[in-house]
Amino acid sequence: MSRRPYVRRVPRSWWLHKPRYVLYMIRELTSLFVGLYCALLVVGLVRLAQGQAAWDGFLAALSSPLGVAFQLVCLVFAIYHSVTWFALTPKAMPLVIKDQPVPGIVIVGAHYVVWAAVSIVVLIGAGI
Amino acid sequence: MARSNKPMLWLPFAGGGLVAALVTPVLILITGVLVPLGVLHLRYETIAAFTHNPIGKVVLFGAVALPAWHAAHRLRMTAHDLGLGGGIAIKGACYGMAGLLILAAAGALIKM
C-alpha cells in the first residue's frame, strides 16, 4: 500500500507567529534532546561492554565542560517533556471509576507522585 | 478496510513518552550533574554487575530503547509540521537512527 500524504505548503516559520505555537514547537523539539541523550546512553553501554578503561574514559567525557553543558541543555528539555506529558495525560487517557470521571488534577498529580518515586528509586539504586 | 500499522508505531511511542518523562530526567541528573560534581561515582564493577543481571539488562534496555523510539516518531511528526514531512528520507532517518541505537544498546547489553 503506497501512501502519499498531502503536504500543504506553509512558511517554515509558521510557528513563530503565536506564543502558543512556539510552546508547541518547543514541546515537540524536546524529543530531539531526549533522542540525543539516548544516543549518549548507548555510547555509555558500548563503552561499558569494552571494559573498565573505556568506561572510565566515558565517565571523564561526561564530566568535561562540553559533556556537562550538553547534558544540562538535555535536562531542561527532558523536564519540559515530563511536565507537558503529564499535563496531557487526563486528555489522552481519561479515567472513569464507578461511573465518575476522575478529575484531571488527580491523574496529573498521580503522575508527579510516580515521577518522584521513580526518581528516588533510581537515585538510591545509583548509590546516593 | 485497509489495515493500519499505526498501533505498532503508537504503542511504543506512548510507552516511550512515559518512560522518557519518568526516567530520563533523573538519569541526566545523575550522569550530567551528580557524577561531574563527584557526589556519585558509577564505578565500573557496580554498573557491570547490574548489566550481568537479566533484569538489569531489561531495565537498561527499556530505559534507552523506548525513549529513543519515542524521539524518532515525534521528530518525524515535527519534521512534518515544519513542512519536511511525507518523504521516505525523513522516515528512514528518524526510524533508522533509532533502530541503530536500539541494536547497539541490545548488542552491548548481550555482550555484558
Per-residue pLDDT of chain A (128 residues; tens, 9 = 90+): 567 777 677 788 899 999 999 999 999 999 999 999 999 999 999 999 999 999 999 999 999 999 999 999 999 999 999 999 999 999 888 888 888 999 999 999 999 999 999 999 999 999 88
pLDDT of residue B20: 97
pLDDT of residue A128: 80
Is residue A103 included in any domain, yes or no? yes
**Residue among A28, A78, A85 whose CB faces B81 most closely:** A28
Residues of B in contact with A12 (CB under 8 A): 82-83
Cβ–Cβ under 8 Å, residues B25 and A79 = yes
Q: Are residues A103 and A69 in the same domain?
A: no
Q: What is the residue-wise DSSP string for A16-30?
A: GSSHHHHHHHHHHHH
Q: Residue A2: what residue type?
A: S
Query: Is the ipTM reported for this complex over the cut 0.85?
Result: yes
Cβ atoms < 10 Å from Cβ of A66: 8
Is residue A110 included in any domain, yes or no? yes
Selected residues 7-46 of chain A with any CB under 8 Å from a CB in chain B = 7, 9-10, 12, 15, 25, 28-29, 31-32, 34-35, 37-42, 44-46
Q: Are residues A33 and A73 in the same domain?
A: yes
- What is the pairing mode between strands A100-101 and A96-97? antiparallel
**Residue among A12, A75, A92 whose CB faces B82 most closely:** A12
What mean pLDDT, rounded, does chain B reach? 91
pLDDT of residue B1: 47
User: Measured between CA atoms, how close is A120 to chain B, in angstroms?
Assistant: 9
Q: Are residues A100 and A45 in the same domain?
A: no
pLDDT tens-digit map of B64-107: 999 999 999 999 999 988 877 667 888 899 999 999 999 999 99
pLDDT of residue B5: 67
pLDDT of residue A2: 67
Q: Check which CATH number belongs to the domain holding A32 and give it.
A: 1.20.1300.10
pLDDT of residue A94: 83
How far is it, in rounded angstroms, from Cα B70 to Cα B75?
Answer: 8
> Do A45 and B23 lie within an 8 Å CB cutoff?
no
Is residue A106 included in any domain, yes or no? yes
Distances in whole angstroms, Cα of residue B7 to Cα of each of A24, B11, B100: 24, 6, 22
Q: Are residues A25 and A53 in the same domain?
A: yes
Domain count, chain A: 2
Is residue A83 included in any domain, yes or no? no
Q: What is the residue-wise DSSP string for A68-111?
A: HHHHHHHHHHHHHHHHHHHHHHHHHS--EETTEEPPHHHHHHHH
Q: Are residues A23 and A72 in the same domain?
A: yes
Q: Are residues A25 and A50 in the same domain?
A: yes
Q: Are residues A24 and A72 in the same domain?
A: yes
Is residue A4 included in any domain, yes or no? no
Asked if residue B62 has pLDDT above 70, the reply is yes
Q: Which residue of B has its CA nearest to A86?
A: B21
Cβ–Cβ under 8 Å, residues A89 and A107 = yes
pLDDT of residue B80: 85
Prediction pTM value? 0.90
Is residue A87 included in any domain, yes or no? no
B25 near A CB under 8 A: yes
Selected residues 67-126 of chain A with any CB under 8 Å from a CB in chain B = 67-68, 70-72, 74-75, 78-79, 81-82, 85-86, 92, 111, 114-115, 118-119, 122-123, 126
Which domain range does residue A31 map to? 13-77
Is residue A84 included in any domain, yes or no? no
Cell numbers at A75, concatenated: 535536562
Interface test with A, best of B9, B19, B24 (most A CBs within 10 A): B24
Q: Are residues A21 and A67 in the same domain?
A: yes
Q: Are residues A52 and A21 in the same domain?
A: yes
Is residue A111 included in any domain, yes or no? yes
- Model confidence at B3, in pLDDT bands (50, 70, 90)? low
- What residues contact residue A19 under an 8 Å CB cut-off, 6+ apart? none
**Per 3-state DSSP, what percentage of chain A is helix, strand, and coil (rounded to 5)?**
75, 5, 20
